[in-house]
Structure 1
Amino acid sequence: MPADKLTDKLTDTLTIGVFDSGFGGLTVLRELLPLIPGARYIYLGDTARLPYGSKSHETIARYAVSSARYLHEQGADLLVIACNTATALAFDDIRHAMPIPVIGVIQPGAEAALAASQGQVLVLATQATIQSHAYAHALHSLGLKATEKACPLLVPLVEEGWTNHPVTDEVIKIYLTEALTEAPEARTLLLGCTHYPLIEPAIARVLSSLGHPLTIIDSAQATARTTAQAIATHFPNRKPQETSPTCTFYATDSIEKFQRLGSNFLGQPLSKVHLLDLGG
């Protein structure tokens, strides 16, 4: 966006678009709301076309770019890709297609890990994110060692609502025991999936029971902080608004399910969810 257009936002309400393939990105929105008050938020969950992880790079890029363009058409001044898979596999495609600032979730998480640790970082994420090695590349570029662990059972457990359940604790224990056997020197744990903040207390509890406490990095929190910094950079003359943030929600399928599950991720009831057809 040209500099004169950026400064035009001095008196306008800043609009932040947040995109995910489903519900998990709502944990990023949850962190953004208190950090950047007075903004207008538009959230799009592409639930009709998930999971992204089983699709090709070309398909993921096409889906993500179409969603990003829709958010821009709705007035987004800045776009947050609150989806690890889309960030890992299509971030450059999205950034090149958008005339506005674009922020993903991977680099902020890696930079937060750097601030917390100079040693080895253990990354928990979905199979698709781990297979992309996006976190490993980002951490290595910062001089950090990375051990990645795919945890495919955690997302369905979170979506089932079993965030404080013995079964979930046992699954977490199995994954962490395996990961720590491979990376016994790890001192930092990076949550590389936006579903995982909902089970962060369970992860901390299991780590304590294993006698291996780690500093836990929530990439959703890190992404929100990076977004606030980006706003200060791209909109330096924007004055904070005194009003409460407003949110508009779109889902491409099952709006009732999105509203029901989404409230758990956002930490508060969702307002009306609009059904959106983005095509194939």
Structure 2
Amino acid sequence: MAGDGRPIGVFDSGMGGLTVLRALAARLPQERFVYLGDTARLPYGTKSAETVQAYALQATRLLLGEGVKMVVIACNTASAVALAVLQEFWDPVPVIGVIEPGARAGVGATKNKRIAVLATEGTVKGGAYAQAIKQLMAEVHVIQQPCQVFVALAEEGWADTPATLATAAHYLEPLFQGPDAPDTLVLGCTHFPVLADAIRRTIGCGVALVDSAETTAVAVSEALTKGGLASAGEGGGPAIRFFATDSPERFARVGAIFLGRAIDEGDVELVDLLKS
């Protein structure tokens, strides 16, 4: 049976979603991808829900125009406020966010029913992870820890510096002390997998560390199989195409930190979502 060679669309407000793309490409090497970073309007976390929904519709309209077979929202804020809107608007195109897979993996990992979520201030205030986790396990205790500073550290590429370790200690050590400490930590921001080593050194080996990028890749793989959308590898063309709404140079430079490999500035196409 022939596979579906159309690409998978992935979008984020900026570069953090490239950690999701990295996980997707590793798990699904036969697939092609179109990645859009809305770098002109980041961060989404400070915007109203209505504004983020409008941005998300514009982003997905561009991706659908590129012929994608599925959309992955590689942004926690957009996943929290726009997933249902996009699923309804673009039905029957599958749309997958990062929060539900991360929540499901967190619930699957915890043994003492105490889960910590490390996220940006906007994601914590919105409470999307806590809500998603409690829908799966009502009796669980969720501790949310905002850590906006990690975003800047990740974008600087400071994965394992004294500043990063000090920040991790400041935010995480108080959470993981005592007999009632969480046994699971969900990385609730797509920037944070870049800092996983520093986080692990802080919390120790006894805490389950859930990477929403990895768990989203698993969810996408399952959805492709279930929907008969998996590629047989015959799609042709470049494996990844990149779009950005501002500064292809910065996208390529900073994005390489999150993707884990160099990005050629010439491979990043500048787009205007208002005209798409």
Tell me the TM-score normalised to structure 2 length.
0.92
- Range that drifts further, 11-20 or 216-225: 11-20
Specify the code of the residue in structure 2 equivalent to 1:167: A
Determine if the alignment matches structure 1 residue 110 to structure 2 residue 103: yes
Instruction: Give the aligned partner of residue 58 of structure 1.
Output: 50
Match of 2:274 in 1: 279
The C-alpha deviation readout for 1:126-169, integer Å capped at 9, x for no partner, is 00100110000011011132111100111001111111110110
Change beyond 3 A, Cα 1:170–1:184: farther
User: SS where residue 13 of structure 1 aligns?
Assistant: coil
SS in 1 for 2:269: strand
Q: How many residues align?
A: 268
Aligned to 1:73: 65
User: Relative to 1, partners in 2 of residues 1:188 and 1:51: Cα closer, same or farther, differing over 3 Å?
Assistant: same
Contact kept in structure 2, 1:204 and 1:213, CA below 8 Å: no
Match for 1:222: what amino acid? T
Check 1:201–1:41 CA distance in 2 against 1; reply closer, same or farther (3 A cut): same
CA shift at 1:218, angstroms? 0.3
Distance, in Å, in 1 between the alignment partners of 2:94 and 2:213 is: 18
Shift of 1:96: 1.5
Compute the displacement of 1:239 (Å). 5.6
Q: Deviations over 1:159-205 (max 9, x none)?
A: 11111110110011000023336994310000000111011010011
Matches within 5 A, 1:3-18: 10-18=2-10
Specify every segment of 5 or more residues in structure 1 that has no aligned partner in the other structure, as ranges: 1-6
What SS is found at the alignment partner of 2:274? coil
Shift in CA distance, 74/123, structure 1 to aligned 2, threshold 3 Å: same
Verify the 8 A CA contact 2:53 2:78 in the aligned structure 1: yes
Give the whole-Å Cα distance in 1 for the aligned partners of 2:67 and 2:46. Answer: 31
**Please, what TM-score do these two structures have when normalized by structure 1?**
0.90
Task: State the distance in 1 between where 2:63 and 2:132 align.
Answer: 27
Distance across 1 between alignment mates of 2:270 and 2:23: 24
What does residue range 1-280 of structure 1 map to in structure 2 within 5 Å? 10-99=2-91, 100-118=93-111, 119-143=113-137, 144-180=140-176, 184-208=180-204, 213-235=206-228, 238=230, 240-241=232-233, 246-271=239-264, 272-279=267-274
Question: Structure 2 regions of 5+ residues with no counterpart?
Answer: none
The residue matched to 2:240 in structure 1 has which SS?
strand
The 1-side partners of 2:213 and 2:104 are apart by: 12
The residue number in structure 2 matching 1:3 is none
> Distance between the aligned counterparts of 2:134 and 2:202, measured in 1?
27
* Distance in structure 1 (CA, Å) of the matches to 2:226 and 2:165: 41
